[in-house]
């Protein structure tokens, strides 16, 4: 799998994951231990190495997901595996072909219906890039790492939005909404808003860290 159906849709096996939204271009390691998913992944490895990742919602799953390509595999005892995947294309579930032992669905590639980048949207992207750099710099100060030097922001607009969304600490519901957006303008607006919220959270963490360091320096707090 995936297999092409008569109406040019794809037939793929699905892996519902709780609280995880996979974006195109995002790397996702998964530990495979359940028998049904050991069987599913083994089948994928013998064919196209592609399956679908969808956000689990209780006993259901989100309608929009992302295809995942298996890049590397670490085989463990008892058929367990650690797989390293990369998000490829968004898709929409058309209908389910099978639900046991794992989901197999007929899906169609989910593309944007609005992709034009006008002057105003260019300004939005400029602000997004500026705030992304600011967020990384604050994160470096909070974590005492140099993540800003290791990460390079993608140049392609959608790749940029998905990359930022994947690294935000917002709710998985917010991330799913970004994944489902078919307008690059609406997607950029949501990412910009969430990015501003992310910076506010980081600034609070940084201020708390500086306050704690100052207290420790003055000998008023034992840790």
Q: How far apart are CA 86 and CA 27, in angstroms?
A: 4
Segment 192-209 shows an average pLDDT of 95
What is the tens place of the pLDDT at every residue in 59-107?
789 999 999 999 999 999 999 999 999 999 999 999 999 999 999 999 9
In the structure, what pLDDT confidence band is assigned to residue 223 with cuts at 50, 70 and 90? very low
Token representation of residue 117 = 């980048």
Q: What is the mean pLDDT of residues 171-196?
A: 97
Supply the pLDDT for residue 151.
77
**Angle, to 10 degrees, between the axis of helix 184-217 and the axis of helix 157-167?**
40
Percent of the chain residues topping a pLDDT of 90? 80
Q: What is the dihedral of CA 213, 206, 23, 46, to 10 degrees?
A: -10
Tell me how far CA of residue 148 lies from CA of 34, 100, 113, 131, 141, in angstroms: 37, 44, 33, 12, 10
Domains of the chain, with CATH numbers? 3-109 (2.30.130.40), 119-217 (1.20.58)
Residue 207: per-residue pLDDT: 92
Binned at pLDDT 50, 70 and 90, residue 133 comes out as: very high
Average pLDDT of the chain to the nearest whole number: 91
The per-residue pLDDT for 59 is 79
Is residue 175 very low, low, confident or very high in pLDDT (cuts 50, 70, 90)? very high
pLDDT at res. 185: 96
Distance of CA 125 to the CA centre of its chain: 19
Average confidence (pLDDT) over 10-21: 96
The Cα 138–Cα 194 span in angstroms is 16
Question: How many DSSP H helices and E strands does the chain contain?
Answer: 6, 8
pLDDT higher than threshold 90 for residue 138: yes
| pLDDT per position as a tens digit, 143-168 | 888 777 777 889 999 999 999 999 99
DSSP category for residue 156: S
pLDDT attached to residue 214? 66
Q: Confirm if 113 and 124 have CB atoms less than 8 A apart.
A: no
């Amino acid at each position: 799998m995936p297999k092409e159906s008569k109406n040019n849709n794809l037939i793929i096996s699905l892996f519902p994951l709780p609280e995880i939204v996979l974006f195109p271009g995002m790397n996702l390691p998964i530990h495979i231990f359940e028998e049904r998913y050991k069987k599913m992944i083994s089948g994928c490895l013998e064919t196209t190495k592609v399956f679908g990742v969808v956000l689990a919602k209780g006993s259901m799953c989100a309608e929009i997901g992302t295809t995942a390509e298996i890049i590397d595999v670490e085989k463990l005892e008892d058929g367990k595996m650690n797989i390293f995947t990369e998000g490829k294309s968004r898709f929409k579930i058309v209908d389910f072909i099978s639900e046991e032992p794992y989901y197999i669905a007929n899906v169609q590639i989910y593309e944007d219906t609005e992709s034009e980048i006008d002057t105003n949207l260019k300004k939005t992207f400029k602000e997004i890039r500026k705030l992304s750099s600011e967020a990384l710099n604050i994160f470096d100060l909070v974590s005492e790492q140099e993540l800003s030097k290791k990460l390079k922001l993608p140049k392609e607009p959608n790749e940029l939005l998905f990359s930022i969304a994947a690294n935000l600490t917002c709710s998985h519901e917010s991330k799913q909404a970004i994944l489902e957006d078919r307008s690059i303008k609406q997607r950029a607006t949501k990412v910009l808003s969430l990015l501003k919220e992310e910076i506010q959270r980081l600034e609070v963490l940084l201020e708390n860290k500086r306050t704690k360091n100052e207290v420790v320096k003055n000998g008023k707090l034992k840790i």
